[in-house]
Amino acid sequence: MIGFDCSGLTLYAWGAYMNLDHYAASQYWQAGSYHPSTSNLMPGDLVFWSSNGSQSGIHHVAIYEGGGMVIQAPQSGEVIQETPLDQVDWGYFGATRPLT
């Protein structure tokens, strides 16, 4: 698939089940209230990266696939990619378990 940005991809994946803004920083709290550690991630969890270590600095979101891999739209219009979690971007912030 081509044509998504990061928050658009997560909105496409989860939007039928909940209200989400098309903005990665908002999705951190909108998607759910449980924020698992990296050792407790489950497929479908949303994972976030921040430029300043805070929610307001969140600049990227991806969907955890399992096995240390995520599905992401690196930039608007780029091909959707399967990427190791630790190779996505700098500034890993945390995760949210949708519908919690």
Is 75 considered catalytic here? no
Angle ∠(2,4,1) on CA atoms, nearest 5: 25
Q: Which residue of the set 22, 35, 72, 81 is catalytic?
A: 72
60 carries an active-site annotation: yes
Catalytic residue among 6, 22, 27, 59: 6
Active site residue 72: yes
Locate 42 and state its tokens.
């489950």
Per the residue annotation, which of 27, 60, 81, 87 is the catalytic one?
60
> Which amino acid type is present at position 22?
H
* Distance from C-alpha of 60 to C-alpha of 23, rounded to nearest angstrom: 9
Q: Which residues are catalytic?
A: 6, 60, 72
